[in-house]
Amino acid sequence: MGHTITIDIPENVYEPLTKMASYAGRTPEDLALEWIANASQLTVIDPVEDFIGSINSGVSDWVDQHDLYLSQSKNQ
């Protein structure tokens, strides 16, 4: 069973949406639905989430510097 949602899309969002839909041979509504469906999958609960914060690594900036730390560990 589907549901209908009516939203007011600003011009700066609608214009690229219609261009991309036209390029793909689809309707803006179909493309918007695909985008919403894909975005909704990003909110699925991560099984590792329960462990986040359970270990104190002593490194407070790992979120911003993880690429640097990973590259350093590969060079050792």
pLDDT digits (tens, 9 = 90+) for 15-73: 999 999 999 999 999 999 999 998 887 777 677 777 777 888 788 887 788 788 888 86
C-alpha dist (Å) from residue 64 to 4, 48, 69, 74, 76: 39, 19, 10, 18, 21
**27 found inside a domain:** yes
User: According to the model, what pLDDT value does residue 74 have?
Assistant: 65
Q: Examine the pLDDT at 76 and tell me if it is beyond 70.
A: no
User: According to the model, what pLDDT value does residue 57 have?
Assistant: 79
**1 found inside a domain:** yes
**19 found inside a domain:** yes
**75 found inside a domain:** no
User: According to the model, what pLDDT value does residue 39 have?
Assistant: 85
What are the tokens at 59?
């490194």
Range of the domain at 21: 1-44
pTM above 0.85, yes or no: no
**59 found inside a domain:** no
**63 found inside a domain:** no
**20 found inside a domain:** yes
**31 found inside a domain:** yes
